[in-house]
């Protein structure tokens, strides 16, 4: 439980990253292959040779689960962690593919993204730089890490957008489908109510008890529990934290690599469709013409001119980055061929690699060190409490020493909602789940609340679930048995009626003779709601039957018998708003299918292995309790 606390709670920000999930659903395909020799036991997956470490995956998963008030063991049991893992793998495959295709993102776009990201976090009188530093601290990321994360997010989004933008639905196809939706059918039906059949002979109690045994699982009184919750606010118990200048300097020197700023180059770039055009642009640029004019002279327009952009070396494709970062300011580089075309680049400006001075980053280092020291104090404090509880001390005996707030929660079920004593905590679902996995008389480990406090609980009492006594529900069971027997008898007679109707032995009017109404005629269409004369089941049934074919549809209180007497193909005008909606829906489905198909191709292209046993050990119930 302590490890969970160190990843979450009031000091959790330093452990959280930005989770970029796939935006269009999951391709839940099993990748073959398990781990063999040569791969470490901390690799949850290996994607084309690149490991996904369990610690990295754990940070992302717990952040998502915390927002849903769900613990990892529950998510694992429901199969959600497998879905998270599949999504993370697919996202990494998209990043790898976008890099292979040369989708480089200009620094100015990343900067704009960062600006939009931190704007909601910028306090009054706070500069964007200060807001960014605070945001990075909250997320536990370096600036370089954030830039890399956003750069990959933008490039994969561009790839996905490109894949779906080419989707096209012919107007004729949309019209044909809309005509099908607008098809109008005339149906003639008779409704035979179950209640219209004679009541069956009342069974004796032994027979009724035997029937009750078959459905008794539907008459269970749920398990209830009572618990005592102890709330702990670590902030009220921590000693003052001080950080010396010497500690700041030592931390700076230890992490000096993280304060280095990579060399950047401002590039003027053009991407041509042919090598000959690119060579012409190079010649003109080398003779003094600016790149935009050179492109216009070679192609007749400036469409191939991309403009000026700032790049680090790792922000460019390898075939471009090597010659560009070997060139001097003012050099023309190219032509270079990539999947995007023929590149010509002019090095406009070079910003050398540098290291941020200590005085510029000392405030942030001080905050980080104070955070770490505070975390260590919280770790020690919570360890003391958990050890004493494990040793058998009662919550009540620790309440005064650790300023615990005790809350009694009487008799609640696992599905209980709006428990009065839990309303102020805003984490009632997680607390209830914890109570139902903690044995009677035992205390849980310390867990986090959304407001930064911690809680532990003791399960005081457990009333197991039980089946209601037969005598308490006898009348209800008899009513249910009677309804079911009538429904069975009705179904048996209707099956015979339908066979005779289709064989021409009887008419629908004869069947309707014993009903309040004769045969009822209704109009139905897929584009309209069911008429009041038909149940939802009958409406769907007669939309799929052949003309003049008798059929039946079962509903809760009876059975509808009938036939389709006529079918009229619908119309689809180009002015029809429904036609436009149909086409939009088809286009959305096609885009989804295209993207899913592409995902499947990536799964086949790149070798992926998943360590299912590690996932089970880390998040199965036993693993969670051990933690």
Rounded CA gap, 85 and 307, in Å?
39
Burial class from Cβ neighbours inside 10 Å (0-12, 13-18, 19+) for residue 75 reads: buried
Token pair 């605070």 is at which residue?
Answer: 134
pLDDT the model gives residue 68: 65
Tell me what pLDDT residue 248 has.
86
Exposed / middle / buried, residue 211 (Cβ in 10 Å: 0-12, 13-18, 19+): middle
Contact between 16 and 140 (Cβ < 8 Å): yes
Q: How many CB atoms lie within 10 A of CB 147?
A: 19
Question: DSSP 3-state helix, strand, coil percentages of the chain (rounded to 5)?
Answer: 50, 20, 30
Burial class (CB in 10 A: 0-12, 13-18, 19+), 419: middle
Distance from C-alpha of 292 to C-alpha of 299, rounded to nearest angstrom: 11
> What is d(CA 344, CA 550) in angstroms, rounded to the nearest whole number?
73
Rounded CA-CA distance 406/455 in Å is 10
**Residue written as token pair 């008890």:** 209
User: Which residue in this structure is represented by tokens 């019209």?
Assistant: 175
Residue ranges, comma separated, of all CATH 1.10.4030.10 domains in the chain are 2-166+596-626
DSSP summary character for residue 572: -
Q: Which of 3.40.640.10, 2.60.40.10, 3.10.50.40, 3.30.2350.10 is the CATH number of 263-352?
A: 3.10.50.40
Architecture in CATH for domain 224-241+365-466: Roll (3.10)
* Omega cis (within 30) before 93: no
Residues of the chain with pLDDT under 50: 1-39, 621-627
Sign of the CA dihedral 584, 585, 587, 591?
positive
Q: For 121, which DSSP code?
A: G
Please tell me the distance from the alpha carbon of residue 186 to that of residue 533, in angstroms, as a whole number.
12
Q: What is the DSSP letter of 549?
A: -
Contacts from 56-62 at CB under 8 Å and sequence distance 24+? 57/84, 57/85, 57/88, 58/7, 58/618, 59/7, 59/15, 59/16, 59/17, 60/17, 60/19, 60/84, 60/88, 62/4, 62/7, 62/8
Considering Cα of 540, then 541, then 542, then 546, what sign does the dihedral take?
A: positive
pLDDT value for 69:
61
Residues 190 and 538: beta-carbon distance below 8 Å: no
Parallel, antiparallel, or unpaired: how do β-strands 466-467 and 220-221 relate? antiparallel
Q: How far is it, in rounded angstroms, from Cα 224 to Cα 462?
A: 6
497, 506 contact by CB (below 8 A): yes
Q: Which of 319, 22, 51, 268 is nearest to 160 (CA)?
A: 22
Asked if CATH classification 1.10.4030.10 holds for the domain at 2-166+596-626, the reply, yes or no, is yes
Q: Among residues 174, 183, 178, which one has the least CA distance to residue 586? A: 174
User: What order of strands is seen across the sheet that includes strand 224-232?
Assistant: 405-412, 224-232, 454-463, 447-448
Q: Which phi and psi angles does 467 have, rounded to 5°? A: -85, 140
Q: How far lies 115's CA from each of 12, 14, 122, 239, 523, in Å?
A: 24, 21, 10, 36, 58
Pick the CATH number of 183-219+470-568 from 3.10.50.40, 3.40.50.300, 2.40.50.140, 3.40.50.970: 3.10.50.40
Please report the pLDDT score of residue 626 as a whole number.
38
**Residue ranges of the chain that CATH labels 3.10.50.40:** 183-219+470-568, 263-352
Written as six digits, the tokens of 253 are: 């020197």
What's the angle, vertex CA 108, arms to CA 106 and CA 114, rounded to 5?
Answer: 115
- Per the CB < 8 A criterion, the answer to whether 19 and 63 are in contact is yes
**What Å distances lie between residue 301 and 197, 278, 305, CA to CA?**
84, 14, 9
Classify burial at 161, counting beta carbons within 10 Å of its beta carbon; exposed 0-12, middle 13-18, buried 19 or more. exposed
Question: Residue 413: what pLDDT?
Answer: 92
Structure tokens given for 408 = 């009694």
Report DSSP letters for 215-282, one per residue.
HGGGSEEPPEEEEEEEEE-GGGTPPP----HHHHHHHHHHTGGGGEEPPEEEEEEEEESSHHHHHHHH
């Amino acid at each position: 439980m302590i490890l969970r606390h160190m990843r979450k709670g009031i000091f959790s920000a330093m452990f959280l990253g930005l989770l970029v999930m796939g935006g269009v659903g999951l391709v839940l395909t099993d990748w073959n292959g398990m781990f063999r020799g040569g791969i470490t036991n901390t690799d949850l997956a290996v994607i084309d040779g690149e490991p996904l470490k369990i610690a990295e995956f754990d940070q992302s998963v717990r952040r998502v689960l915390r927002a849903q008030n769900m613990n990892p063991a529950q998510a694992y049991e429901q199969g959600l962690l497998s879905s998270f893992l599949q999504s993370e793998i697919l996202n990494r495959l998209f990043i790898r593919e976008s890099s292979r295709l040369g989708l480089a993102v200009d620094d100015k776009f990343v900067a704009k993204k960062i600006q939009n990201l931190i704007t909601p976090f910028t306090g009054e009188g706070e500069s964007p730089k200060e807001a960014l530093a605070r945001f990075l601290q909250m997320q536990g990321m370096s600036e370089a890490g954030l830039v890399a994360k956003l750069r990959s997010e933008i490039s994969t989004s561009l790839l996905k957008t490109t894949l779906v933008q080419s989707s096209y639905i012919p107007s004729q196809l949309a019209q044909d489908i809309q005509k099908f939706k607008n098809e109008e059918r005339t149906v003639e039906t008779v409704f035979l109510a179950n209640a219209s059949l004679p009541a069956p002979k009342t069974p004796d109690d032994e027979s009724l008890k035997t029937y009750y045994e078959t459905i008794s699982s539907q008459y269970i009184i749920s398990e209830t529990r009572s618990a005592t919750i102890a709330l702990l606010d670590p902030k009220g118990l921590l000693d003052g934290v001080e950080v010396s200048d010497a500690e700041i300097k030592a931390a700076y020197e230890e992490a000096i690599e993280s304060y280095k700023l990579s060399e950047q180059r401002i590039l003027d770039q053009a991407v041509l469709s042919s090598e000959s055009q690119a060579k012409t642009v190079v010649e003109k640029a080398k003779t003094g013409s600016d790149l935009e004019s050179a492109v216009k002279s070679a192609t007749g327009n400036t469409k191939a001119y991309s403009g000026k952009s700032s790049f680090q070396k790792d922000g460019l494709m390898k075939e471009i980055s090597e010659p560009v970062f070997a060139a001097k300011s003012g050099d023309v580089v190219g032509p270079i061929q990539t999947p995007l075309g023929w590149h010509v680049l002019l090095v406009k400006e070079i910003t050398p690699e540098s290291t941020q001075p200590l005085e510029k980053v000392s405030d942030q280092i001080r905050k980080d060190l104070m955070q770490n020291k505070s975390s260590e104090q919280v770790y020690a404090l919570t360890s003391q409490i958990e050890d004493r509880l494990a040793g058998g001390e009662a919550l009540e005996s620790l309440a005064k020493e650790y300023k615990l707030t005790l809350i009694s929660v009487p008799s609640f079920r696992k599905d209980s909602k709006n428990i009065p004593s839990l309303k102020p905590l805003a984490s009632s679902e997680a607390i209830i789940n914890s109570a139902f996995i903690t044995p009677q008389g035992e205390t849980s480990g310390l867990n986090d609340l959304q407001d930064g406090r911690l809680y532990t609980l003791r399960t005081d009492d457990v009333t197991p679930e039980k089946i209601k006594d037969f005598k308490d529900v006898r009348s209800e069971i008899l009513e249910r048995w009677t309804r079911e027997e009538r429904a069975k008898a009705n179904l048996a007679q209707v099956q015979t009626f339908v066979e005779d109707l289709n064989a021409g032995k009887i008419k629908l009017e004869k069947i309707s003779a014993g009903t309040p109404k004769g045969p009822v005629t209704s109009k139905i269409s897929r584009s309209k709601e069911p008429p009041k004369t038909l149940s939802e089941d009958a409406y769907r049934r007669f939309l799929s039957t052949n003309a003049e074919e008798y059929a039946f549809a079962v509903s809760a209180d009876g059975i509808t018998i009938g036939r389709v007497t006529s079918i009229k193909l619908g119309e689809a005008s180009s002015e029809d708003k429904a036609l436009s909606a149909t086409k939009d829906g088809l286009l959305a489905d096609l885009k989804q299918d295209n993207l899913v198909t592409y995902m499947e191709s990536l799964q086949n292209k790149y070798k992926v292995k998943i360590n299912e046993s590690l996932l089970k050990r880390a998040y199965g119930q036993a693993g969670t309790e051990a933690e």
